[in-house]
Amino acid sequence: MNDESRIVELELRYMQQQELLQELSDVLYTQRRELDALKAEVDLLKKKLEGEPGLVDAQRQEKPPHY
């Protein structure tokens, strides 16, 4: 294997690694956006549950006045 073919091989490998790195970066970015959205949704649900504790713990829910 001569020097020129080794350089070409290294350049090809480098380009493939750059493409893979970009793909992984894109996937990570997408997952981060999804994770942020899910965290916001969980926070919203927590606030709703704090406002209505009977939804989670039936014993904490007050009985209607006719009981």
Q: What is the pLDDT, as a whole number, of residue 9?
A: 97
Give me the pLDDT at residue 50, please.
87
Per-residue pLDDT tens for 37-59? Answer: 999 999 999 999 888 866 666 55
Q: Is residue 67 part of a domain?
A: no
Number of folded domains in the chain?
1
Q: Calculate the alpha carbon distances from 1 to 15, 20, 27 in Å.
A: 20, 26, 37
Mean pLDDT on 18-45: 98
The boundaries of the domain holding residue 7 are: 1-43
Q: How many whole angstroms separate alpha carbon 48 and alpha carbon 25?
A: 35
Is 66 part of any domain?
no
Please check whether residue 34 lies inside any domain of the structure.
Answer: yes
**Does 63 fall in a domain?**
no
Asked whether the predicted pLDDT for residue 11 surpasses 80, the reply is yes
Dihedral, 57, 58, 62, 63 alpha carbons, nearest 10: 180
User: Rounded to an integer, what distance in angstroms lies between the CA atom of residue 2 and that of residue 65?
Assistant: 92
Within a domain: 64: no
Residue 4 belongs to some domain of the structure: yes
